[in-house]
Amino acid sequence: MLGVTQLVCYHEGRAAVTDEPSQPESLDETYKRLSPYGPPPGGVPQPPEPPAQVWVAPQPVVFEQAPAVPPRSRSTGTVLAIVGASLAMVLVIAGMAGSLAALGGSGSPSANGTPAPQPTFTNPPDPVDEWNDYPGTAYVDSAEVLASPSTETVTSEAEALIEEYKTQLTAELGLEWTSTYDGRLDTTSNGYDGDSMLYDYSSVEWQGIVTLDDPTARQRVADIFTGIQEKYGASDSWLSNEIYEGDETSSKKQFGAATLEDQPMWTVYALDAIGDGSTLATRMIDTNLTRDPSFDGDYWFELGDVPAGSFVVTIQFSDYNLLSDADRDAFTTKLGEFDETAKPEGR
């Protein structure tokens, strides 16, 4: 028939032929006819639901060295980028290896096959270390040491001075003497982590005791001491009690009372009695005088065994940086190895 076109309709898998007027179908109808998603049976056509999305965990990125021949599936730009990154990594590793080799002291072979010299890094020597064998000391000028009395002279004269002092006190007060310290003669450090050729000397300490109750005894001992030190040429002497005058607390603790006349302990020092830097010290204590509870001077005398009513005196001499006559020539020779004008400070 004219004007009628046979349409083949597909519905639920069956084909049917209908005679319909020949009308052009719309785009919407074309879409519905060609769409793989048909309308639900008996319902209004619905837009197709999108396929369900499945979450896929991201995979870790693995950096691989580019193969010698890149796969054909990779673009030229990608291949160049991978090759460049690999080359940079190789250069970094090579640089690190070179640095480690330099630190380890193993050099690369030179043209003749021998290891190339590597730079060494060392700290400059401590100038003090160069003076480790210095025969003198960092704290005293060597010229002063050479001008001072020798070890033999100082020890001999110190013994004579102490003996004279003891003799006068025995005659004046009737003291009886015992030694409480044996004395020492020790090698002095040079101040540069080594031993010098000099000596430090401390004489025997002598302690004299007498049963005596005489408030004037302290002054009498001080006068004898002053006369002795003047005879031997001491440059200065002082009564250390006077240092704490006006300081009642310290006076009681150091000397047993607030004022000099009540203080049971007096201490007198003399400087340079034999040589420059020498010290002669004497202490006296009158146990008849009341001592303040804070008094800590007893340890000088170890008065635990001293009978009540005793008068006690000690005497000792000390000197430092002494040069023996036997070492004088060797000392002078050794000094010649050092520049005294560049003498560093001691440690």
> For position 113, what pLDDT does the model report?
60
Beta carbons within 8 Å of 258's beta carbon, 6+ residues apart: 248, 251, 252, 292
Q: Is residue 226 part of a domain?
A: yes
> For position 59, what pLDDT does the model report?
60
> For position 157, what pLDDT does the model report?
94
> For position 121, what pLDDT does the model report?
54
Length of the chain: 347
SS3 assignment, position 154 = helix
The rounded distance, in Å, linking the Cα atoms of 253 and 261 is: 15
- CATH code of 338's domain: 3.30.2030
> For position 186, what pLDDT does the model report?
96
Q: Which residues of the chain have pLDDT under 50?
A: 1-21, 40-44, 66, 69-83, 87, 90-92, 94, 97, 99-108
Q: What single-letter amino acid sits at 311?
A: F
Q: Which phi-psi region, left, alpha or beta, contains residue 13 (left: φ > 0; alpha: ψ -120 to 50)?
A: left
DSSP 17: E
Structure tokens at 179: 């030694």
Q: Is residue 151 part of a domain?
A: yes
Task: Clarify whether residues 154 and 29 are in a common domain.
Answer: no
Q: Is residue 57 part of a domain?
A: no
Q: Is residue 258 part of a domain?
A: yes
Burial category of 32 from C-beta neighbours within 10 Å (exposed 0-12, middle 13-18, buried 19 and up): middle
Q: Is residue 234 part of a domain?
A: yes
DSSP string of 63-130, one letter each residue: --PPPSS--TTS-HHHHHHHHHHHHHHHHHHHHHHHHHHHHHTPPPB-TTSSBPP-----PPPPTTGG
- Is 295:252 a contact under the CB 8 Å cutoff? yes
Q: Is residue 318 part of a domain?
A: yes
> For position 323, what pLDDT does the model report?
98
SS3 assignment, position 311 = strand
How many C-beta neighbours within 10 Å does residue 266 have?
24
Q: Is residue 327 part of a domain?
A: yes
Task: Clarify whether residues 203 and 320 are in a common domain.
Answer: yes
SS3 assignment, position 12 = coil
Beta carbons within 8 Å of 60's beta carbon, 6+ residues apart: none
Number of independent structural domains in the chain: 2
Task: Clarify whether residues 146 and 21 are in a common domain.
Answer: no
Beta carbons within 8 Å of 281's beta carbon, 6+ residues apart: 267, 268, 269, 270, 314, 315, 316, 317, 318
> For position 178, what pLDDT does the model report?
94
> For position 297, what pLDDT does the model report?
85
Task: Clarify whether residues 17 and 147 are in a common domain.
Answer: no
DSSP string of 167-224, one letter each residue: HHHHHHH--EEEEEE--EEEEEE-SSSSEEEEEEEEPPEEEEEEE---TTHHHHHHHH
* H or E element that contains 147: helix 142-147
How many C-beta neighbours within 10 Å does residue 322 have?
24
Domain of 29 in residue numbering reads as 4-34
Q: Is residue 287 part of a domain?
A: yes
